Amino acid sequence: MMKRLKIIFAILITSSTLFAAVDMNSREMKNLVKAVEKLRESKSDTKLKFTGAESTAKAKLKAAKIKNSGPEIDRLAAEIAEISTKYWGGVNADLDAQREAGKTDHDFTVLMREIARWPQNYWIDCKTEDGRAKAKASRADFSARVDKALEDRFKPYLSGKAGRGGASFGNDINREISVIEKDLKPMKSGVLSSHGPTGYSNYNKILAWQAYLTGLARLFPNEPKYLNLLNKINAELASLGSESTFEERWRQNAKAQTAKVRMPAARSNDAAVISEVRNAFNNSGNTAEILKINLTTTQWTIIRNQLTSIIEGRTQEAAIATKQANGECLLYNVTIYQQYDGSNYGPARMYGFSNVEMVCSNAK
């Protein structure tokens, strides 16, 4: 079709040597001008405009068959060129407008999809200051997207007068709203009950929900459910207090948890095994003072090769109460391992461990 149109366009603007002169007042020329003007004013679709362009070209060719003097040929060529330029200029303007509308529609769709689904992609580990800075930047970026969606060029889309319309993203938004409504209380509880910086991730998730609902309330001011949920989130954040407030609460929570930590009861008092545990712990590079060791297993567990059943080594477990250089006490739960060479077991080494803070007076 485009190749055909280019040929037609070339015919319309060909130099005067291709056209025989025509009386400007002739019926053919009047019909030609009328056809082109009618076509230009038409509100029909592009296909009909192309069909009209083809018919107009045929009318011009028919008019050109009536020969006249040289000056008339020149005037006819100029008139045809002017009409052609006017028509094609209008068609190009229409096409440009359609392309711009299509680009705007695409931009709005992509933008609103990002806005509607933003909470899904927000989760950031906020235990560190760097993580909290990233979370803050992400919220600022979301607010900037909302600002963009509120630009004048997108207003017809938000109102539903063009494109998919803002309301068409309701399903995505409603899914996020359901999650927020379900998780808001547990998330707040996580902030309050935390023992340390892990609570920051919960807190910043609530801040993300606040940013999300603030954006929705701006985009859809006539939708009360967004503003109502935003008010609930604001109330929960207000009840949490400032960051310094819940940081102090975390310290108190940690102290309360630490006070509950006790040494597990000793299940064996084998001095040789206790000595192996001590040596394995010290040889692992740990410089903490050992306050007490309780064996939490009664005997060695033999480790065999899964394919041959040949003995490879053996393990035992123990609890070790330690005092760090800063005066704090940690309780280690460790596993030691001795490798078997076919005749003897070698010296024990650390095979795995975990630790938790404890009150030093509980190391007994």
Q: What is the CATH number of the domain that holds 317?
A: 3.10.450
pLDDT recorded at residue 3: 43
Same domain for 346 and 229: no
Residues 314 and 337: their CA atoms lie apart, in Å, by 6
Residues 300 and 313: their CA atoms lie apart, in Å, by 10
Residue 106 within any structural domain of the chain? no
pLDDT recorded at residue 238: 92
Q: What is the mean pLDDT of residues 213-233?
A: 94
pLDDT recorded at residue 339: 96
Total of domains in the chain? 3
The predicted-structure confidence for 278-288, as pLDDT tens digits, reads as follows 999 999 988 89
pLDDT at 347 over 90: yes
Residue 235 within any structural domain of the chain? yes
Same domain for 158 and 202: yes
Residue 114 within any structural domain of the chain? no
Which of 208, 229, 257 lies at the terminal end of a domain, its last residue? Answer: 257
Backbone dihedral angles phi then psi of residue 349, each to the nearest 5 degrees: -135, 160
Kindly indicate the confidence band of residue 105, based on its pLDDT and cuts at 50, 70 and 90: confident
Same domain for 128 and 72: no
Same domain for 178 and 248: yes
pLDDT recorded at residue 167: 61
Domain that holds residue 141: 120-257
Determine how many CB atoms are found less than 10 A away from the CB of residue 361.
8
The predicted-structure confidence for 137-174, as pLDDT tens digits, reads as follows 999 999 999 999 999 988 888 887 776 655 668 888 99
Lowest mean pLDDT among 30-34, 44-48, 79-83, 251-255: 44-48
pLDDT at 90 over 70: no
Lowest mean pLDDT among 158-167, 173-182, 260-269, 271-280: 158-167
Same domain for 314 and 199: no
Residue 315, helix vs strand vs coil: strand
pLDDT recorded at residue 7: 43
- Please tell me whether the overall predicted TM-score, pTM, comes out greater than 0.85 for this model: no
Q: What is the mean pLDDT of residues 176-203?
A: 88
Residue 109 within any structural domain of the chain? no
In terms of Cα–Cα distance, which of 5, 22, 31, 152 is closest to 88?
5
The predicted-structure confidence for 289-308, as pLDDT tens digits, reads as follows 999 999 999 999 999 999 99
Same domain for 214 and 140: yes
pLDDT recorded at residue 291: 95
Residue 105 within any structural domain of the chain? no
Residue 155 within any structural domain of the chain? yes
Enclosing H/E stretch for 357: strand 349-358
Same domain for 87 and 62: yes
Same domain for 230 and 151: yes
The predicted-structure confidence for 303-342, as pLDDT tens digits, reads as follows 999 999 999 999 999 999 999 999 989 999 999 999 999 9
Same domain for 301 and 193: no
Q: What is the mean pLDDT of residues 198-216?
A: 92
Same domain for 251 and 326: no
Q: Which residues contact 194 (CB under 8 A, 6 or more apart)?
A: 202, 250, 253
Transcribe 26-52 into DSSP letters.
Answer: SHHHHHHHHHHHHHHH--S-HHHHHHH
Residue 229 within any structural domain of the chain? yes
